[in-house]
Amino acid sequence: MENFKDLTREERAAALKALGLPAFREAQIFKWICKGAEDFSGMSDLSAELRTRLAEKWSLETLSVDLVQSSSDGTKKFLLGLPDGNKIETVFMEYSYGNSLCISTQVGCAMGCSFCASTIGGKRRNLKAWEMLDEFIVSEKAAGKPVNHLVLMGIGEPFDNYENLCEFLRQIHDPKGIGLSYRNITVSTCGIVPKIRQFGQDFPQVNLAISLHAANQKAREALMPVAKAYDLKSLLEAADDHGKQTGRRVTYEYTLIAGKNDSLEGAAELAELLRGTLCHVNLIPLNPVAETGLSASSKKQALAFADYLEKHGVPCSIRRTLGKDIDAACGQLRKKNS
Ligand code: SAH
C-alpha cells in the first residue's frame, strides 16, 4: 500500500481532489500528521466513512524511536528507525535561548570529509521530506519538551538532497502544522556553491552555516574532497553574496583538529579571508572518530585561535561540547548500531 506521506503536499491535494474531496481536507490531514498520527482512524474531524476510505487506499508510515541516550547536561540523542530498516540520528539540546534539535538529511553521506563519522560507508539514500518532518515530530515527543530551534547538521549533506529539503522546509514552516519560523532554522553545508546561491533565493530567511575547516585551498582540499569541485574563492563569494542578498550573518563552522588546521598561521589566514564580511565563526572542538586517527586541538590552542580571530576583527565562539558522554557527534550512534 502507498504511504500517503510519500506524496508532496501538492500531490496529496491532487490525489484527494481525484477522490472528489474538497481542498481543505489536505490541510486537515496534514495537521494530524504533524501531531504524529500513525493512521487515519483518530482523525476526528473526518467522517468515519472517509477515514475508512483513506485507510483502504493509503498507509501512514512513521519513524520509530529505537534508542535514547541521555547526557547529564540535558542533551538527548535518538536513534530512529526508517520504514526500510535504515537508521538515522537526531540530537536534542537545551540552550539558554531555548531547545534545539539537530536532524539528519540523508542515510550516510557522500561528501567524504576526513574527520566525520557519517561518511564512513558512504551515502545509502536521501531522506524524504516526510522522514525529516517525522524526525522533528517523534524527537520532540520523545524529548518531552518543546523544540523551537532546528539545525540541519546531522547525518548527510542537505544540499545533496535539495528538492526534499525544500519540501521539508515548506512543511515544517506551515502554520497549519508545526509553524516553525524560518529564522529559527539553520541549514549547514560543506560548500556546494550553486545550491548556496539557489537557497539564498528560495529561502532568504533561513540561516546558512558553511563548513569551512581550513582557510586556504590546499589545506581545505586535504580535509574535504568537495573543495576540489567548488574552490574556496567561489565559496566565499557565494557566502558573501548570500549575506548581502539576505541581510543575514553567515556562520562558518571550523572544526579544530590538532596539527591540521589549528595553528596561529591558520588563524591569520582565516582572519584575512573573513575580515569585513557579515559573519560569525563557530569553532568546534573535534569530536574524535576512532577510524580517522585525528585528535582535537588542546583547550589552550583553541583559546589562542579564538583570541587571534577576535583581536583581528572576526567574531567567533568556541562551541560548548554537549553530549560528549553519549556519542553526540554526527553519525557515531548510527555507526555503532548498523
Ligand atoms: N554536511 C553538512 C552538515 C552535517 S555536519 C556540513 O558539512 O555542514 C555538521 C558539522 O559538524 C559540519 O561542520 C561538520 O564538518 C562537523 N563535523 C563532522 N564531524 C565532526 C567531528 N567528528 N567533530 C566535530 N565536528 C564535526
Which residue has the CA at smallest separation from atom 13 of ligand 1? 211
Domain final residue pick, 23, 42, 59: 59
Q: Is 330 in the pocket of ligand 1 (CB under 6 A)?
A: yes
Same domain? For 175 and 52 the reply is no
pLDDT for res 329: 61
Same domain? For 114 and 10 the reply is no
Q: Is 113 in the pocket of ligand 1 (CB under 6 A)?
A: yes
Q: Is 227 in the pocket of ligand 1 (CB under 6 A)?
A: no
Beta partners for residue 275, in sequence order:
none
Domain final residue pick, 59, 80, 104: 59
Same domain? For 46 and 150 the reply is no
Q: Is 116 in the pocket of ligand 1 (CB under 6 A)?
A: yes
Same domain? For 285 and 331 the reply is yes
Task: Give me 4's grid cell.
Answer: 500517503
Torsion over CA: 235, 301, 156, 101 (sign): negative
Pairing of strands 123-126, 87-95: unpaired
pLDDT for res 73: 87
Catalytic annotation on 89?
yes
**Which one of the listed residues 26, 89, 140, 167 is annotated catalytic?**
89
Question: Higher pLDDT residue, 332 or 312?
Answer: 312
pLDDT tens digits for range 256-303: 999 999 999 999 999 999 988 889 999 999 999 999 999 999 999 999
State the average pLDDT for the chain.
95
Same domain? For 88 and 8 the reply is no
Chain centroid to CA 249:
18
pLDDT for res 220: 98
Q: Is 257 in the pocket of ligand 1 (CB under 6 A)?
A: no
The CATH number given to whatever domain includes residue 129 is: 3.20.20.70
Domain final residue pick, 59, 74, 103: 59
The CATH number given to whatever domain includes residue 8 is: 1.10.150.530
Same domain? For 135 and 9 the reply is no
Q: Is 329 in the pocket of ligand 1 (CB under 6 A)?
A: yes
Task: Give me 188's grid cell.
Answer: 549547514
What is the arithmetic mean of pLDDT over 309-315? 96
Same domain? For 11 and 42 the reply is yes
Choice from 284, 297, 320, 327 to test ligand 1 binding pocket (greatest atom count within 8 A of CB): 284
Same domain? For 32 and 105 the reply is no
Q: Is 129 in the pocket of ligand 1 (CB under 6 A)?
A: no
Same domain? For 19 and 103 the reply is no
Choice from 135, 162, 255 to test ligand 1 binding pocket (greatest atom count within 8 A of CB): 255
Domain assignment of residue 37, given as a range: 2-59
Atom of ligand 1 nearest to the CA of 210: 8
| Total domain count, the chain | 2
The rounded distance, in Å, linking the Cα atoms of 193 and 204 is 16
Residue 319 burial (CB count, 10 A): 14
Same domain? For 322 and 222 the reply is yes
Q: Is the pLDDT of residue 328 over 60?
A: no
pLDDT tens digits for range 95-153: 888 999 999 999 999 999 999 999 999 999 999 999 999 999 999 999 999 999 999 99
Q: Is the pLDDT of residue 332 over 90?
A: no
The rounded distance, in Å, linking the Cα atoms of 280 and 249 is 7
Same domain? For 16 and 103 the reply is no
Same domain? For 112 and 51 the reply is no
**Which one of the listed residues 34, 102, 190, 330 is annotated catalytic?**
330
| CB within 8 Å of 224: residues ≥ 6 apart | 111, 112, 113, 114, 190, 191, 211, 213, 214
Pick the closest to residue 331 from 83, 42, 117 (CA basis).
117
pLDDT tens digits for range 200-250: 999 999 999 999 999 999 999 999 999 999 999 999 999 999 999 999 999
Choice from 211, 256, 320, 327 to test ligand 1 binding pocket (greatest atom count within 8 A of CB): 211
pLDDT for res 324: 65
Residue 99 burial (CB count, 10 A): 16
